[in-house]
Amino acid sequence: MLRLVSGLCSLGMAVSVMGLAGCGSDTDAVTAGTSTDRGSLVYNPPLRVASLTAPDFQAQLAAQAAGQSLLAIAGAPTCGVDIYHIEYNTVGGAGEKTTSSAALMVPTGGAAAGCSGPRPIVLYAHGTQTDKTADLADIQNPSNAEGALIAAVFAAHGYIVVASNYAGYAMSSLPYHPFLNGDQQSKDMIDALTASRTALPSTPSSATSDNGKLFISGYSQGGYVAMATHKALQAAGVAVTASAPMSGPYALEAFGDAIFYGSVDIGSTVFGAMVTSSYQHSYGNLYTQPTQVFEAAYAPNIAADILPSATPIATLFADKKLPQTALFNSTTPVTGNAQLDAALAVPANPVFALGFGTSNLITNDYRLSYVLDAVNNPDGAVPTPQVGVPPAAAPGNTLRQDLKTNDMRSWTPARPMLLCGGDQDPTVFFSVNTGTMQAFWAALPAGLVTVLDVNATPNPASPFAPLQVGFQTTIAGLLASGGQEAVVENYHTTVAPFCTVAARGFFSQF
Amino acid sequence: MIARFAKIAFGTVAATLAVCAHADEDVLSNSVRLGAYYITYDTSADDLRGPYVPPGINLKLKDVVTPYFAYVRRLNSHFSTELAFGLPPLTKTYGKGPAKVGSVPYNDQEIVTARWFAPTLLLNYSFFDESARLRPYIGAGINYTRFYSRKSTAAADAATGGPTSISLTTSVGPAATIGLNYRITRRFYVIASVSASQVDSDLTANTAGVLRKTHVSFNPRAAVIAAGYSF
């Protein structure tokens, strides 16, 4: 009996002690890849973020005003869309190993409707994002307008979409973003493509497969990245069916010169912070002390890679971590050279003048040193276009050197390309970028490079005429409702859906 | 919280030890019970949080019936200890929230199955004289719950986006019971009781490295009907 009592008491004690000691998790293992080779998947199969039938996707879009506009431009979805978040290994701006992520959007539905079976791939590059957590796969997030755009325009119409979030964003392990680093960003895109091709057969959407046609597109920063990716794939001997870079800063050195001369674009402080962070990490040649480039109030923030950030950009502006518009000081440098001083003065154009203020980002000394180098080693497109619009032969300023390194006036496409944009774009200047590339490639065979200005007078014979009419009607509506300020503020983003649908139409020829 | 439970546990064990030494050798001091547990859950959980989770994603549990076993040790004419446990039931968790996540059905879909090993140690007090045929009793003690054989169903994998592993942290919490004991013979009796325990757990779902989490209070309520044999 005593033994039994003792047994009970021991059991009671054992249960109690086991309970107290056993409060940890009891977790099953999750298989993860071990390779860190470029383009290898971190997880396979990847996470399916959403699975939408065509009617559900249409209903989701129709529930919001922006979605209704998108449906009107892109047309109703004809396919369902499965959206995957993939993580893959790639490299950073200095060649360091890192991870990046992408959205893989797979059309689903009947093969006869062009929604499954062998389908073409659109490799898509997104525009500048200040939100470090931004993820194109997060299709339920109302702020993910670009993810919804490419899903609605491409995936819901039968294209497999591979869209990198870029290293430095979402779940990437890179602590900065290699903004407008053509070599890194094209590698990131190519690695996203490799990883997606590996992942697709192991997903529930494997009824859809790669048919071998590869299209490349992207908007704004992504327009540049798309062109850089086309260049890199062509150099590697990989077949590209066609590409459609849109509203991108292709002629980077010319664009930089235009800005430093005083034609400051909308968003310049964001782009300035991001491009200097990127090039300093990639090349380490912009400064030894950030105050050599930036005003003391902002220099520590730029050096600490303030962008992209999980903090909303409006908060960063409100907290004076970054000036909202003032790239340069409104008291401009005085050199004694009347012509140069006039070039450096605050411009009469009110949009460019927004880039000047008293709480400015870039010091007068740095601006002057940059412009003096531009005067002594001029770019062939800015300020005065030269024959062939070449970049400067030997720029001395290190930022100009870096911009030239990444300038797209360094190659010639061998496959068809559509360059789409709007000629009044105050964010990424059309003439300085698209116009310069058009001039640079002027001698190419007709039809190889097509330029579409959605703001140009529509040619009724052009398949793009309805998009031009639609864009111009939208801008007229903006002007009527919000005045010129609304147009300036929204012009760049308004171009995007019209050019994206134009890209789809362009790709459909092949 | 753990310290509080530790005090309860050690208090229970100390009381057991204290009265064990005075156990009356003339009465039947040990008994075993066999019966049925009907377990219902008053589950409350935070909405699942993590990447790609739309608002309002929650869960609920379906009631289960499982065999009940207990060992009871008489301490004196009023006090006894009870170690009760059920044959670990396959507990089914169902989606609670929107009808669909994207186009994937969610609400009322079976999403997780798991088995629980959940012994409860109780110190019971029985009313009336020991010779009475019908004796109500109340009890309090401690519950230990460990989850195993956790499985995400195909429906859940479709909603969460792929093969998903589930972890549930082990729970230690207070338990209480109230019941009736009806003596049929000297050795045989039947009991009916209801009991409640606090079972809290942190649930983590891992799908391709993406973690979604929630805190779940299962709040099980159990009704028991059992037959006992004293020796």
Mapped onto helix, strand or coil, the DSSP state of residue A277 is: helix
pLDDT in tens, chain A (510 residues): 333 333 333 333 333 322 222 333 344 434 578 899 999 999 999 999 999 999 999 999 999 999 999 999 999 999 999 999 999 999 999 999 999 999 999 999 999 999 999 999 999 999 999 999 999 999 989 999 999 999 999 999 999 999 999 999 998 999 999 999 999 999 999 999 999 999 999 999 999 999 999 999 999 999 999 999 999 999 999 999 999 999 999 999 999 999 999 999 999 999 999 999 999 999 999 999 999 999 999 999 999 999 999 999 999 999 999 999 999 999 999 999 999 999 999 999 999 999 999 999 999 999 999 999 999 999 999 999 999 999 999 999 999 999 999 999 999 999 999 999 999 999 999 999 999 999 999 999 999 999 999 999 999 999 999 999 999 999 999 999 999 999 999 999 999 999 999 999 999 999
Report whether B205 contacts B181 (CB < 8 A).
no
- Contact between chains at A15 and B51 (C-beta distance less than 8 A): no
- Beta-carbon neighbour count of residue A252 at 10 Å? 26
- Contact between chains at B52 and A50 (C-beta distance less than 8 A): yes
- Contact between chains at A56 and B103 (C-beta distance less than 8 A): yes
Q: What is the ipTM of this complex?
A: 0.80
The alpha-carbon radius of gyration of chain B (Å, integer) is 21
pLDDT at site A31: 57
Q: Which helix (H) or strand (E) holds A229?
A: helix A221-235
Report whether B176 contacts B195 (CB < 8 A).
yes
Phi and psi, residue B133, nearest 5°:
-70, -40
CA distance A406 to A377: 17
Residues in A closer than 8 angstroms to B29, CB to CB, are: 1, 5
pTM: 0.89
Which residue in A27, A58, A165, A196 has the most chain B C-beta atoms within 10 A of its own C-beta, making it the best mutation to test that interface? A27
- Contact between chains at A43 and B209 (C-beta distance less than 8 A): yes
> Closest-CA residue in chain A for B164?
A30
**Residue partners of B97: CB distance under 8 A and separation at least 6:** B47, B56, B57, B58, B106, B107
- Contact between chains at A28 and B9 (C-beta distance less than 8 A): no
- Contact between chains at B167 and A85 (C-beta distance less than 8 A): no
Q: How far is CA A210 from CA A107, A117, A197, A200, A233, in A?
A: 11, 8, 8, 9, 17
> Measured between CB atoms, which of B25, B52, B73 is closest to A138?
B52
Q: Which residue has the tokens 């990847």?
A: A46
Q: How far is CA A184 from CA A167, A197, A358, in A?
A: 9, 20, 35
Alpha carbon of A306: minimum distance to chain B alpha carbons (Å) = 23
* Chains A–B, number of C-beta pairs less than 8 Å apart: 144
Q: Which residue has the tokens 């890849």?
A: A33
> Measured between CB atoms, which of A23, A56, A135 is closest to B2?
A23
pLDDT, tens digit, 9 for 90 and up, residues B103-154: 999 999 999 999 999 999 999 999 999 999 999 999 999 999 999 999 999 9
> How many residues can be counted in chain A?
510
pLDDT, tens digit, 9 for 90 and up, residues B5-56: 445 444 444 444 444 444 445 689 999 999 999 999 999 999 999 999 999 9
Choose among A134, A56, A156, A137: nearest CA to B52. A137
- Contact between chains at B83 and A12 (C-beta distance less than 8 A): yes
Residues in B closer than 8 angstroms to A46, CB to CB, are: 162, 208
Alpha carbon of B223: minimum distance to chain A alpha carbons (Å) = 22
Alpha carbon of A50: minimum distance to chain B alpha carbons (Å) = 6
Choose among A158, A190, A164, A150: nearest CA to A39. A190
Find how far residue A332's CA is from the centre of its chain: 32
- Contact between chains at A16 and B10 (C-beta distance less than 8 A): yes
Residues in A closer than 8 angstroms to B25, CB to CB, are: 1
> Measured between CB atoms, which of A15, A23, A51 is closest to B103?
A51
Beta-bridged to residue A347, according to DSSP, are none
Report whether A159 contacts A60 (CB < 8 A).
no
CA distance A433 to A224: 10
State the amino acid at position B51 in one-letter form: P
